[in-house]
Structure 1
Amino acid sequence: MRMPRTILAGAVTLALAGAAACGGGDGEAQRPAGATALYDALPDGIKEAGVIRFAGDSHPPYRIVADDGKTVTGIDKELQDALGKVLGVRTEISIVSGLPAALSGMLASRYDAFNGPVKDSADREKQFDAIVWMVTRTSYLIPTAGASAIKSSGDLCGKRVAGTAGSIVEDQAKRLTEWCAKQGKPGLEFIGFADTNGTILAAKSGRADAAGMTESAALDVLSKEKDAFTYVTQTEEQGAGVDQLAMLVPKSSGLGPVMLDAFKEIFKNGDYKKIMDKYGLQNVAVPAPKMNTAATQ
C-alpha cells in the first residue's frame, strides 16, 4: 500500500525535527530547551559534558563541607547554582586540599574553575582569566584567652599567625611584617595550612596566636562561636588596602569571557544581591563584575 504524499511529507518533517532536537551529529551536545546565547557561547567540551566542574577547598562561609566530605553548602554553592542557571548547565564542586591543588587541577583540565575567592594578580592572569566579584580586607581571629594581648592588628608583631598557604592572607601577613619592621618590632611568624578550618583549629589549640582570613570569613566564625574569638582588621597603613577577589578559569579553556557575561546576568537579575545580602557581605560587594583587573593596573 502506497503512503499518500501528504502523510509521507509529514513523516519526513517529523524525522528531521527529531534529528535536530537530538543535537545533530555524533558527539554533539543536545541543546537544552530554552538555552540562551550564553549557552551557545560555552566551550564545546562544557556543552558536551553539561556541567561546569569547580574545584573548592573547605572555606566557610564560601564552602561549608559536610561530614561526608562531599556535600557543600554556602556562598559558592548558591553563586554557582545561579551562574549555572543562566548558562544552561549544571555545576558541581569537588573538594581539594588548598589553592595549589585547585590551580594545578585546572591546568590539568580536571576542573573548569575555582571560585576561591582569590586575589586577582598579574602573575595569575598569565594562566587564568580572573572574574572579580567582590573585594576584601584581611582580618585576624584572636582566641578570647589571648585577646588582652592583641587588641589591634599592630599587636600581631612577633606573634604566630595561621593562614591558608598561598592565599591572600599570606601576602597580607608579609606586608604587616614589613610594617612591624618599620616600627622596630619583630615580624609575624606565618604558619601555612591547607584550608581555613586548619587555621581556626591552630588558633584554638594554641599553635598560633591568631588565624588570618577574609573579614567575611571572620564574621562567619564569630556568628557561630561568638564567645570563642574576637577579631582585628589590618589597616591601609599596614599594607592592607582593598583587594580584588576573583573566580579563576584557565585562559586556554575559553570559558572566561562567557563566565564574565554570566556574572553580569546575575547582577542584572538580582541573584548576586540576594546572595550577598543573605550572608551579610554588603560591604564587600562590587557594583559590577570585571575581568583581569590586575593586568590593567
Structure 2
Amino acid sequence: MPRTILAGVTALTLAGVAACGGGEGETQRPAGATALYDALPESIKEAGVIRFAGDSHPPYRIVANDGKTVTGIDKDVQEALGKALGVPTEISIVSGLPAALSGMLASRYDAFNGPVKDTAEREKQFDAIVWMVTRTSYLIPKAGSSAIKSSGDLCGKRVAGTAGSITEDQAKRLTEWCTKQGKPTLSFIGFADTNGTILAATSGRADAAGMTESAALDVMGKQKDAFTYVTQTDEQGAGVDQLAMLVPKSSGLGPVMLDAFKEIFKNGEYKKIMDKYGLQNVAVEEPRMNTAAAQ
C-alpha cells in the first residue's frame, strides 16, 4: 500500500481517537509497541510501516513468480527488526542498487539491506549499520569451467555482476592484480540483479558470475552439479567487506535501527537467522554504525 494512503488511514484513525478524548496532534501508541517504538521518527509512526527497497538477490531476497512475494535472509531480518521496533515492515522490489539509493533519498523507501558495502562516500548521505561481512566469489558453469580453476584464471575472462555492487568494486581490484601479473584484464559486465548475472554465465555471455560467497553457495545448493566457484584472495585485493543496512541520514531512523539490531543480537534472533542460512562464518559479534568514515 503506498505510504501516502497508509499515512492518510493512520491520520483518520488518530482523528477518531482524538475525538474520543486523545490529545490533539498526538500519534496513538499502537498495541504491542516496544520500548524502542517511542524513539522512531514521527514519519514512521504516522505511516505505521517501515518500507525497505530490495532487488532480487538470493538468498537475501528470493522473489516469487508474482514479483511481490519475498522470502530469504532479508525478510527474516526485517521481520525480527520490526518486532523489536513494534512496527511492521514491507519490501518493495526495485531494479538494482541505484534505484534503491535514489528511492531512499526521494523518501519512497526507508531503508535498504543490501548486501551493500559500507563506504565513507555512502556514509555522507546514509547511516550504514554493519551486520555481516563477506568475500566475493565467482560462480562458474561446469560446462565451461575447464580453464578456470582459481580466481587468478579470471584474468582475460568476462565476469557478470550486479552494477554498483561490492562485486563490481572487487572485480576492479582483481583486474588491477591481473595487470600487475602481466595478465590480460578481466571484463566486467553489469546487470540489474543476481538473476541476470547467473543467466549471463549460463548462456555464455559471461564466463563467470560474481556475487557474495553466501549467494554463490545458495545457487550451488539449489542447482546441484551445475556450477563450481572460486573466491578472490587477499592478495588480489579482496579483504573482507563489511555489509550494511543503509538508512537515509535525513530520516533520523539510523540510530533507532542500530538499537533494534542490538536487540535482535541480544535476544538470539540474529544468531537464529544466520544459523538457518548457514552464514556463521560471515556473522559479526555486534552491529556497528558508520565505521567506514572512521577508518
Same fold (TM over 0.5): yes
Q: Of the candidates 50, 66, 69, which is equivalent to residue 68 of structure 1?
A: 66
Query: Quick one: structure 1 residues 145 and 110, their matched pair in 2 at CA, closer, same or farther if it must change by over 3 Å?
Result: same
Distance 1:139 1:276 in 2: 19
Q: Of the candidates 28, 33, 36, which is equivalent to residue 35 of structure 1?
A: 33
Deviations 1:26-46 (A, max 9, x none): 4x4320224233100000000
Counterpart for residue 188 of structure 2? 190
Root-mean-square deviation (CA), in Å?
1.3
> 8 Å contact 1:162–1:190 — kept in the other structure?
yes
Counterpart for residue 46 of structure 1? 44
Q: Of the candidates 84, 87, 107, which is equivalent to residue 86 of structure 1?
A: 84
Structure 2 residue identity aligned to 1:226: K
What's the TM-score once normalised by structure 1's chain length?
0.92
Secondary structure of 1:286's counterpart equals: strand
> 8 Å contact 1:23–1:31 — kept in the other structure?
no
> 8 Å contact 2:61–2:72 — kept in the other structure?
yes
Distance 1:56 1:114 in 2: 6
Report 1:215-234 matches (<5 A).
215-234=213-232
Deviations 1:14-60 (A, max 9, x none): xxxx759985324x432022423310000000001110000000000
Secondary structure of 2:31's counterpart equals: coil
Structure 2 residue identity aligned to 1:153: S
Distance 1:212 1:192 in 2: 10
Secondary structure of 2:119's counterpart equals: coil
Query: Quick one: structure 1 residues 181 and 23, their matched pair in 2 at CA, closer, same or farther if it must change by over 3 Å?
Result: farther
Query: Quick one: structure 1 residues 142 and 29, their matched pair in 2 at CA, closer, same or farther if it must change by over 3 Å?
Result: same
Query: Quick one: structure 1 residues 83 and 278, their matched pair in 2 at CA, closer, same or farther if it must change by over 3 Å?
Result: same
Query: Quick one: structure 1 residues 176 and 89, their matched pair in 2 at CA, closer, same or farther if it must change by over 3 Å?
Result: same
> 8 Å contact 2:78–2:89 — kept in the other structure?
yes
Distance 1:79 1:22 in 2: 38
Percent of pairs identical after alignment?
A: 89
Structure 2 residue identity aligned to 1:73: T
> 8 Å contact 2:33–2:87 — kept in the other structure?
no
> 8 Å contact 1:139–1:215 — kept in the other structure?
yes
What's the TM-score once normalised by structure 2's chain length?
0.92
Counterpart for residue 24 of structure 2? 25
Number of aligned positions between the proteins:
279
Q: Which runs of 5+ in 1 are unaligned?
A: 1-17
Report 1:104-183 matches (<5 A).
104-183=102-181
After the TM superposition, which parts of structure 1 deviate over 3 Å for at least 4 consecutive aligned residues?
Answer: 18-23
